[in-house]
Amino acid sequence: MGLVCDLAPDVSLDKNEGMQEPMIELCGVEKSYPQGGGQVYVLRRVDLTVGEGDFVSIMGPSGAGKSTLLHILGIHDSEFTGEYHLTGEPVHKLGRKERHELQKRAIGFVFQSYHLLDELTVAENLELPLSYRNLKKAEREAVVADTLDRFQIVGKKDLYPRQLSGGQQQLVAVARAIVASPKLILADEPTGNLHSEQGAEIMKLFQKLNAEGTTIVQVTHSETNAGYGKRIVKMRDGWVVNESQEAQG
């Protein structure tokens, strides 16, 4: 039998738009490491539902388990117990190849440190996620051109990351995350290396992408950044300790 989660009935509810279809469903997820003949738990009995089109901010002190949870959501870590469904697929039951295919198909990532490839131009960095898809070269170039135009960075297409400011690099990183039209964006402290004005621009961009239908889950220490989302999930010592419905700023 599967696990039974005692989730609040409106956990995936946007009060303005009604009940959403679940994008993410976690049930009893735990993560631990062996230590001194016992187990040290990093995540404890995490139950969480994120609906399609939601924008969730995960907050908590260092060591709360936020990044560990994000790694599991991003299918970078499969060593956990419990159940994880993503777009209806049972991640916890999938083999390595199936997990990798689901990750490429469904998830875009935005990291604090940009993770752009220094030896590739802006356009080439954007094309990279499309190389995993069954697209011809001309089709990939057309998608990249549309994305460059959408993010107003056409003039940067032939530049290398080292020639861009931090804010411009993170803008390219966000563009790369959505270029293949993922259903879900996972962001880990996406404005951590930016000054406040640049950070606000990135968060407003996230808010716009979310309004267009992209589901976003971000880890952040910033109350300001969390306020751009619809819900805040607070963690402590591996536990989800609080959820709140937030009006977007």
**Looking at the domain assignment, is residue 7 inside a domain?**
no
**Looking at the domain assignment, is residue 144 inside a domain?**
yes
Model confidence pLDDT, tens digit, residues 70-129: 999 999 999 999 999 999 999 999 999 999 999 988 999 998 888 899 999 999 999 998
**Looking at the domain assignment, is residue 8 inside a domain?**
no
Q: What is the CATH number of the domain that holds 21?
A: 3.40.50.300
Whether the Cβ atoms of residue 6 and residue 48 lie closer than 8 Å to each other: no
Averaged pLDDT, 146-170: 93
**Looking at the domain assignment, is residue 183 inside a domain?**
yes
From the number of C-beta atoms within 10 Å of its C-beta (0-12, 13-18, 19+), residue 170 rates as buried
Residue 180: how many CB atoms within 10 A of its CB? 22
The parent domain of residue 199 ranges over: 13-243
Within 13 Å of residue 127, how many CA atoms lie on the same side as its CB? 16
Supply the pLDDT for residue 198.
Answer: 83
* Total number of domains constituting the chain: 1
Supply the pLDDT for residue 1.
Answer: 36
Check pLDDT > 80 for residue 167. Answer: yes
Q: What is residue 92's DSSP assignment?
A: G
**Looking at the domain assignment, is residue 1 inside a domain?**
no
Q: What is the DSSP string of 108-171?
A: EEE-TT----TTS-HHHHHHGGGGGSS--HHHHHHHHHHHHHHTT-GGGTT--GGGS-HHHHHH
Averaged pLDDT, 11-40: 77
**Looking at the domain assignment, is residue 164 inside a domain?**
yes
**Looking at the domain assignment, is residue 2 inside a domain?**
no
What's the pTM value of the predicted model, to 2 decimals? 0.86
**Looking at the domain assignment, is residue 248 inside a domain?**
no
Q: How confident is the model at residue 131 (pLDDT cuts 50, 70, 90)?
A: confident
Supply the pLDDT for residue 118.
Answer: 94
Q: What is the DSSP string of 20-70?
A: --EEEEEEEEEEEEEETTEEEEEEEEEEEEEETT-EEEEE--TTSSHHHHH
